Structure formats: structure tokens, C-alpha cells
Amino acid sequence: MRGRIAATVSVIGELLITAGVIMALFVVYSLWWTNVLADREAERQGNQVRETWAKSPSGPGALDTKDGIGFLHVPAMKNGEVLVKAGTGSKVLNEGVAGFYREPVKAGMPWDKQGNFTLAAHRDGHGAKFHNIDKVRKGDAVVFETRDVWYVYKVYADLKQTSRYNVDVLDSVPKESGKTVPGRFLTLTTCTPVYTSDYRYIVWAELTRTEKVDAKRTPPTELR
Amino acid sequence: MYGWIWRHLPGNAWVRALISLLLALAIVYALFQYVFPWAEPLLPFNDVTVDNGLPAGSAMTEWR
């Protein structure tokens, strides 16, 4: 009898230890392994986009959105370039890219006369492309690179914590950022606080100028 | 449980240790390759978009 109780207790103990180890492994998977996979995938797709651009450096085809429409550069986030693709489903975002919204509010495109170019990306894991969003300050530059044009934005407002259901931040004129007249805006959204997704972190920027891409793809001064 | 596995592995202590290591690696592989990718969307750690809380697939091509 005593032997059976002891055996049962020891099996329960081993199961608890196993559960702990599996949870630790899940953390390793979430915060490290998904980054490895996503960064690999994002680099492959980014190279593909650059190759396509190199093949047809001018004329139509610049807005081919299948592989990605361009690259986002946010010097304050210190994460290099982020490929931007259509859609914000987890399949897209898990490739280590930023996605522009198609639901619930369709994003405006940078080349539109007015609108809000709304983007989402992961804060942790899967490339963690917006991990350092809290390092972005008012006045910082956000540059979006397409085949032909550099779109230079300047950050003018942020929302450090908002409800996950606050879709108003995606409006073409985002009132919460203090804007009341249409313009050419850019919105970054991700989850906050880090390692969780209870709330959303929002950064708004406004277009200040555009620059034609030259033959050597010289980046604008903000990126040098 | 682990003691039971250890006693039922063949060979001497070194062979058993090697087999245990291989088993552990196989389990870690299965977790990373199949179990965690399946479990991840079910856990609330990595939603980054704002949405209006509509259920998935409500006449939308790509929700979230």
C-alpha cells in the first residue's frame, strides 16, 4: 500500500516537472525559434522583391502587391528594413513582415492623395519587427521605400496603450492623434505590454516629403 | 515514470543514456515542429492587430 502511494506521488511529481520543462520550451520557441524562422523567411521574400525591382527598374509593375509592396525603415527601432505585405492575418505576419490592414478598415496607400497607411507587425516572436516601438519618439523619421519612391514620414503622436477593439485608430483621419483634416498618414500598430497582447500600442506619423529613388538607391538623409 | 522507461531501455548505462538523449531530442523536435505551432494561435500572447471583435470568417476573406 505504501509503495503504491509513493509510486503515484512520484509519477505526479515527474509529470509536473515535465509540464514545467514543456512550458519553458514553449517560451524558447515563442521568443527565439519563431524569430529564426521568420527572419529567414522575411529575408528570402525581401530579396525576391528586390530582385523583381532590379529586373524592371521602371514602368508598370511597381505596385505588384503579391510579394510585398516595399520596405519600412524606422531608424528609432534599430531593426533594419521590414518588408511590407498585404493583409494582417497571422499567416502573413508570422513571416516576419509588417502587413497593411485590409480589415476592418482598409489602409490607404502611401501614393494615395490622402489616407492612412496602417500597418501591424509582431512585438515578440515571429521576427518581432515592432519590438522597439516604445523607442519611437515624436519627431522621429519613418521611411517607406517602394521601387520608385521614398516616402518620408515624421512621427507626431502615439498611444501607449489602447483597447484591442479600438479600430478608430485606423481611420483615414485618426481623430485620436489630434488630426481633423485629411492628410497622408501612417499608423503602426502592435501589442503591448511586451510579451503579452492585452492592449495595443499605436504610433502615428505624417508624410513630410517624397523622394524619387535614384539609380544607386541612395537612401534619404533620415536613413544615413 | 522516467525510472520505468530507464529500466526498460536495452543495453548498459551508456547505451541507455544515449537512447534517452535521442528520445528527448525527438520529443523537442516534435514539440517545435508540430505541437507549438498548433498551440500558439490558441494562446492569447501574440495578437497584434486592432479589430472589432467579429467572429472569424464572417464574410471576410481575411479576418485580423
Q: Per residue in A204-223, pLDDT tens?
A: 999 999 999 998 899 999 99
Mean pLDDT of A43-54: 92
The region that residue A217 occupies, defined by phi over 0 for left and psi between -120 and 50 for alpha, beta otherwise, is: left
Chain A contact probe: residue of B7, B34, B46 with most A CBs at under 10 A: B46
Q: Per residue in A152-164, pLDDT tens?
A: 999 999 999 999 9
Mean pLDDT of A155-179: 94
Q: How confident is the model at residue B52 (pLDDT cuts 50, 70, 90)?
A: low
Residues contacting A208, CB < 8 A, separation 6+: A152, A153, A154
Nearest CA among A166, A155, A151 for reference residue A204: A155
Q: Per residue in A55-86, pLDDT tens?
A: 877 766 666 667 789 999 999 999 999 999 99
CB proximity under 8 Å: B 4-43 to A:
28, 31-32, 36, 39-41
CA A145 – CA A36 distance, rounded (Å): 24
Other C-beta atoms lying within 10 Å of the C-beta of residue B37: 15
Q: Do A197 and B47 touch (CB under 8 A)?
A: yes
Q: Do B45 and A30 touch (CB under 8 A)?
A: yes
Please, what sign has the CA dihedral across residues B38, B44, B46, B50? positive
Q: Do B46 and A170 touch (CB under 8 A)?
A: no
B contacts of A90 (beta carbons < 8 Å): 41, 46, 64
CA A107 – CA A117 distance, rounded (Å): 5
Q: How confident is the model at residue A224 (pLDDT cuts 50, 70, 90)?
A: confident
Q: What pTM value is reported for the model?
A: 0.86
Q: How confident is the model at residue A189 (pLDDT cuts 50, 70, 90)?
A: very high
- Sort strands A199-212 and A149-162 into parallel, antiparallel or unpaired: antiparallel
Other C-beta atoms lying within 10 Å of the C-beta of residue A6: 10
CA A141 – CA A211 distance, rounded (Å): 14
Q: Which helix (H) or strand (E) holds B22?
A: helix B13-30
Cell numbers of B18, please?
A: 544515449
Task: Calculate the alpha carbon distances from B26 to A29, A172, B29 in Å.
Answer: 15, 50, 5
Mean pLDDT of A165-187: 94
Write down the ipTM of this complex. 0.78
CA A212 – CA B18 distance, rounded (Å): 61
Chain A contact probe: residue of B35, B50, B52, B54 with most A CBs at under 10 A: B50
**Domains detected in chain A:** 41-223 (2.40.260.10)
pLDDT at res. A33? 95
Task: Calculate the alpha carbon distances from B29 to A64, A87, B24 in Å.
Answer: 37, 30, 9
Q: Do A164 and B51 touch (CB under 8 A)?
A: yes
pLDDT at res. A100? 94
Q: What angle do CA A63, A66, A72 make, to 5 degrees?
A: 65
- CA-based nearest distance B16→chain A, Å: 19
Q: Per residue in A104-142, pLDDT tens?
A: 899 999 999 999 999 999 999 999 999 999 999 999 999
Whether A92 contacts A124, CB under 8 Å:
no
